[in-house]
Homo-oligomer: A and B are copies of this chain.
Amino acid sequence: MNFNAITIRDIAKALGLSVSTVSKALRDSYEISTQTKKLVAEYAREHNYRPNPLAQSLKKGHSKTIGIVVSTIENQFFSQVINGIESVAYKAGFNVIITQTHESYELEVKNVAQLTHHALDGLLISLSAETKDVEHLQHLNKQGLPIVFFDRVSSDIKTHKVIADNLKGGYDATKHLIEAGYKRIAHITSPPNISITQERLAGYKQALKEAGRPIEEQYIKYCPHGGRDTEEVEIAINELLALPNKPDAIFTTSDRITTTTLFLLNKAGIKIPNDIALAGYTNTTLADVLNPPLTSVYQPAFEMGQKAADMLLQLILSKRPVTEFETITLPTQLFIRQSTHSVG
């Protein structure tokens, strides 16, 4: 508040009262007479008094704000998660600060530092695609900053976590492709170090195994930045198309990889699903009006945000240190559309 706001002292002076009386009156303390309260309240309203939150926070030792770290808000999945977080945070009187890592470890570290600089009561984070160690978080956590992971989590920090059932998501999509008659199912995914990649990949493998299909590494492609750059997806697709036995179906993870794959296949004149079928993770509301409508794994993003915020608030508000942590797994949903129409 660098602008000329009226302070409690101004009110005190104007009304011939003491600062403490005004403060108490404003907070409706039982110690203050009804008359004085009325007087103060009126003056405050008329002059549009707003307590300086900085001063309040400094005094009280908490800021009533929580920080969110995601890779990009352009990704609908994350903006939906954020909406979920906000819906519960606001209700509890907490504010929210959002920062983006753009899949960069360096930015993640910077942003977390920046955020905690700004005095948070808690942190909600989904790791960047590059992140391999969580030293920067561990330290804060040990110092007492409550942290809750969502989506992309780390097993190196013991705290609450909220994830989608990634294994089942990968399994469902792959199984569907198998049942639809596809023979050579490729998988384009995020880098191997992040949790969602591993879990979804495990689902993919499990479905293949159950169907007695071989798992071929040549059909599995990783995008170092989770599809942030179009080129990485393009490389993956080109490698797949150059295979002697090129795939007849692709299962993609993450919004970005999915839509980029769709874009690139269209651009290359490859017909979906006739030439290659496509099933992918996405939370876009546009899945139905894509060309073709896209078979997709949908994650309950809003609920994920709500749950994560709930758990964080619980940590923040807890009187005693919490030592028991849980990981909540939310179900995903497979929507079958024309991009994976049955073969034959």
A1-32 residues at the B interface, CB under 8 angstroms: 1-5
Please name the residue on chain B nearest to A64 by beta carbon. Answer: B118
- Per the bound structure, the CA–CA distance linking A145 and B289 in Å amounts to 43
- Per the bound structure, the CA–CA distance linking A259 and B62 in Å amounts to 42
Q: Mark A41-66, 1 if CB is under 8 A from B, else 0.
A: 00000001011111101100111010
- Per the bound structure, the CA–CA distance linking A266 and B72 in Å amounts to 30
Q: Mark A77-100, 1 if CB is under 8 A from B, else 0.
A: 001101100100000000111111
Q: Answer whether A119 and B58 are a contact pair too, CB < 8 Å, given A73-B82, A79-B73, A289-B263.
A: no
Which of B74, B118, B144, B263 is the one whose CB lies under 8 Å from A53? B118
Question: What's the number of copies of this chain in the assembled complex?
Answer: 2
A268-291 residues at the B interface, CB under 8 angstroms: 284-286, 288-291
- Per the bound structure, the CA–CA distance linking A174 and B145 in Å amounts to 55
B residues near A114, Cβ cutoff 8 Å: 95
- What's the nearest-Cβ distance from chain B to residue A151, in Å? 17
B residues near A291, Cβ cutoff 8 Å: 289-293
- Per the bound structure, the CA–CA distance linking A79 and B62 in Å amounts to 29
Which of B74, B118, B289 is the one whose CB lies under 8 Å from A65? B118
Q: Which of A55, A119, A144 has the largest count of B CB atoms less than 10 A from its CB?
A: A119
> Is A76 an interface position by the 8 A CB rule?
yes
Residues of A within 8 A of B (CB): 1-5, 48, 50-55, 57-58, 61-63, 65, 72-74, 76, 79-80, 82-83, 86, 95-100, 113-121, 139-140, 143-145, 259, 262-263, 266-267, 284-286, 288-293, 316
Chain A to chain B contacts (Cβ below 8 Å), 13 pairs: A2-B62, A3-B145, A50-B116, A54-B58, A55-B58, A65-B118, A73-B83, A86-B100, A98-B98, A259-B285, A263-B288, A266-B289, A290-B291
